[in-house]
């Protein structure tokens, strides 16, 4: 489980005290509580993810992953698009991404265009065994829960990067999905269409 890193002399005593209060009230690890206290993570999402992690750890103890066992489910509610960036604070997301388009993307077209930093060398089984966020996503889909679409951006004239939701793209691909919804910044839409000419608006 990964949250924004918090360290350095810019953390005030008041912020640390607030983090301690959050930790005590919600039972979160201190590093997570500190991220919330600094406004880098949403409290409700941090609490949900921590509790989900505990449940997911218990579930995976007796679960043997075989590709094709999950049905990818997507949450298209724009009010929750910020979750595409791992719980980035709502205000920060709105400022960073003021206008987004939702596209239907063909995975067969997307995967070869991914920059190496967004690609995966491991097999689906290796990803499952080695990446806790992949297991947590599988657990959500096992429960029938939907997740927000991944966020794509243009890395270069010939490559695309996954700005958020990397595990969603790769697990959906491993599960045999042909298409997925994907968010792109409106200002990048034309460049995305050059790289993914078969991408169409999600309706």
- Domain range for residue 138? 78-201
Q: Is residue 155 part of a domain?
A: yes
Give residue 9's pLDDT: 53
Q: Name which of 14, 24, 18, 11 is nearest 37 in CA terms.
A: 18
Whether 135 and 188 share a structural domain = yes
Give residue 3's pLDDT: 42
Helix 43-61, helix 30-37: angle, nearest 10: 150
Split into its structural domains, the chain has a count of 2
User: What backbone torsions phi and psi does residue 22 show, to the nearest 5 degrees?
Assistant: -65, -45
Q: Is residue 3 part of a domain?
A: no
Q: Is residue 135 part of a domain?
A: yes
In Å, how far from its chain's centre is CA 52?
15
Determine contact, residues 1/132, Cβ cutoff 8 Å. Answer: yes
Write out pLDDT tens, residues 49-88: 888 888 888 888 888 899 999 999 999 999 999 999 976 8
Task: Tell which phi-psi region holds residue 148, choosing left (phi > 0), alpha (psi between -120 and 50) or beta.
Answer: beta
**Rg, the chain, Cα only:** 18
pTM of the model: 0.78
Q: Is a pLDDT exceeding 70 seen at residue 7?
A: no
Whether 102 and 176 share a structural domain = yes
For residue 142, give both structure tokens.
């096992």
For residue 2, give both structure tokens.
């990964």
For residue 198, give both structure tokens.
């078969």
Write out pLDDT tens, residues 146-185: 999 999 999 999 999 999 999 999 999 999 999 999 999 9
Q: Is a pLDDT exceeding 50 seen at residue 2?
A: no
Write out pLDDT tens, residues 98-139: 999 999 999 999 999 999 999 988 888 898 888 888 998 999
Whether 108 and 179 share a structural domain = yes
For residue 105, give both structure tokens.
């993307």
Whichever domain contains 120, its CATH number is 3.90.1530
Whether 92 and 148 share a structural domain = yes
Whether 88 and 146 share a structural domain = yes
Q: Quote the CA–CA distance of 201 and 33 in Å, as a whole number.
A: 38
Share of the chain above pLDDT 70, in %: 95
Whether 82 and 55 share a structural domain = no
């Amino acid at each position: 489980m990964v949250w924004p890193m918090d360290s350095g002399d810019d953390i005030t005593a008041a912020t640390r005290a607030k983090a301690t209060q959050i930790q005590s009230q919600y039972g979160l690890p201190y590093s997570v509580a500190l991220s919330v206290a600094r406004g880098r993570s949403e409290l409700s999402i941090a609490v949900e993810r921590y509790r989900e992690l505990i449940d997911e750890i218990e579930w995976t103890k007796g679960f043997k992953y075989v590709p094709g066992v999950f049905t990818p489910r997507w949450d298209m509610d724009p009010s929750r698009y910020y979750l595409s960036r791992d719980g980035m604070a709502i205000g920060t997301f709105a400022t960073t991404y003021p206008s987004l388009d939702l596209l239907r993307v063909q995975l067969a077209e997307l995967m070869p265009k991914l920059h190496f930093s967004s690609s995966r060398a491991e097999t689906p089984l290796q990803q499952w065994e080695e990446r806790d966020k992949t297991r947590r996503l599988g657990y959500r889909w096992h429960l029938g829960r939907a997740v927000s679409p991944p966020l794509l951006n243009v890395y270069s004239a010939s490559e695309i990067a996954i700005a958020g939701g990397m595990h969603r793209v790769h697990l959906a691909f491993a599960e045999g999905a042909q298409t997925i919804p994907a968010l792109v910044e409106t200002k990048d839409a034309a460049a995305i269409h050059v790289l993914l000419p078969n991408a169409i608006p999600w309706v």
